[in-house]
Structure 1
Amino acid sequence: MSPLHNLSEETLILLLKKKNQQAFSYLYDNYADSLYGVVCRIVTSAEHAEEVIQDVFVKIWKHVDLFDVEKGRLYTWMINIARNAALDYRKSKGVRNELKNQPLSNIVNREEEQDRSQNERNAQADFIGFKNILDKLKPECRVLIEMAYYEGYTQQEIAQQLDIPLGTIKTRTKAAFLQLKTLLKDYR
């Protein structure tokens, strides 16, 4: 057991800002799996997700001084870093070109792999209890949050994908986040 296992979040943050190696190891040991679950929802390849996670923890280590306790919790800050890194990776020109140049057999195999990994990602999302909350949303709200947060679509792209006017998407997204906020309050 880590000598840091009973630290408060505030003490952990102070140690991380002092670049304490044990604190960083503790952070990795306790948060890597749930951050990996977030990344896997966006980056479909396990190999690429592992690369993104490494990048995420490098960013956390380098930029922990930017974390502001007044703006939220450490875990929320780390999830945003993980999500943004995964979205950046997925939208990178090299990844898009790689996907365009795949033989048909690879695309079919990837879709089958994605179906299997979707079940794994659902289990990982459930690790942090978020899947249960998402499942309580109205279906049209859940789809919008999943497309925006986990798949990285902009509201314009969601409107195009669902063939719904952009104004409707914006209204529904706002309603979805309000519903999610209510569910999260009840969850505590």
Structure 2
Amino acid sequence: MQQDLLISRLRDGNEQAFERIYELYSRSLYGIIYSIIRDEAVSEEILQDVFLKIWHEAPSYDPEKGRFFTWILNIARNASIDRLRSKEYKNSQRNVHEEYFSDIMESGNQTSGKIDAIGLQKYIDILGPMCKKLIDLLFFKGFTQKESAQKLQIPLGTVKTRNRMCINKLRANVIR
């Protein structure tokens, strides 16, 4: 089924279209969620919440405003960051130390394979170490620019400039 037709049917409330959307995108969305949350059970729970939101919000999707994958990716990313920032999640993670985590873009563990499910790894590998770290903090771990500046011990203005440079470099590599 053509993707535009599939999305149109989803927007109209077609359950078969929703099932097909789930088949097509669940693995990629899980990879993004897991890269932020780093807990399989919680990631699976968030994935289900994300697909419920996709189902309920599908009529509001506007193809004129952006690609469907970008729309659902933002839903998944925002849901993951919301969970990270929730009091309940923070309390459940009290005994987990920062050293336990390795950077998602540098590691060779199962997370890298899940991130690469959407084909990001080849573009991320091109970036320098500072860009990798900054994108990891801002987009995968949900840090604010101010929190990233504190974490990296660099001025906020530098974070903003490097973020813009890194995103432009990533964009240039993806569009090629």
- State TM-score, norm by structure 1: 0.86
Structure 1 CA distance, aligned partners of 2:130 and 2:61?
Answer: 34
Report the alpha carbon displacement of residue 28 of structure 1 after superposing the two structures with TM.
0.6
Structure 2 CA distance, aligned partners of 1:174 and 1:33?
Answer: 29
The Cα offsets for residues 112-148 of structure 1, whole Å up to 9 and x where unpaired, read as xx56x96111011112210110110122112111111
Structure 2 CA distance, aligned partners of 1:29 and 1:8?
Answer: 14
1:184 equivalenced with 2:174 (yes/no): yes
1:144 to 134, 139, 142: 134
The Cα offsets for residues 14-67 of structure 1, whole Å up to 9 and x where unpaired, read as 100111010000011111011000000001110000110000000000001121
Indicate the percent of aligned positions where both proteins have the same amino acid.
39
- Which amino acid in structure 2 is aligned with residue 155 of structure 1? Q
> Do the aligned partners of 2:123 and 2:174 also contact (CA within 8 Å) in 1?
yes
> Do the aligned partners of 1:9 and 1:74 also contact (CA within 8 Å) in 2?
no
1:172 to 162, 166, 174: 162
- Which amino acid in structure 2 is aligned with residue 48 of structure 1? V
Which runs of 4 or more aligned residues in structure 1 lie more than 3 Å from their structure 2 counterparts after TM superposition? none
Structure 2 CA distance, aligned partners of 1:172 and 1:31?
Answer: 31
| Cα root mean square deviation, aligned | 1.6
SS at match of 2:64: helix
1:46 equivalenced with 2:36 (yes/no): no
2:77 to 70, 77, 83: 83
Structure 1 CA distance, aligned partners of 2:31 and 2:122?
Answer: 15
- Which amino acid in structure 1 is aligned with residue 48 of structure 2? Q
Q: Which moved further from structure 2: 35-44 or 122-131?
A: 122-131
2:26 to 22, 25, 32: 32
Structure 1 CA distance, aligned partners of 2:165 and 2:64?
Answer: 26
SS at match of 1:133: helix
Greater share of helix residues, 1 or 2?
A: 1
Structure 1 CA distance, aligned partners of 2:171 and 2:113?
Answer: 22
* Partner residue in 1 for 2:9: 15
In structure 1, list runs of 5 or more residues that go unmatched: 1-6
In structure 2, list runs of 5 or more residues that go unmatched: none
Structure 2 CA distance, aligned partners of 1:71 and 1:183?
Answer: 22
Structure 2 CA distance, aligned partners of 1:75 and 1:53?
Answer: 15
Structure 2 CA distance, aligned partners of 1:127 and 1:29?
Answer: 13
Structure 1 CA distance, aligned partners of 2:116 and 2:89?
Answer: 28
- The number of residue pairs the alignment matches comes to 171
1:127 to 112, 117, 141: 117
Report the alpha carbon displacement of residue 179 of structure 1 after superposing the two structures with TM.
0.5
SS at match of 2:93: helix
SS at match of 2:154: coil
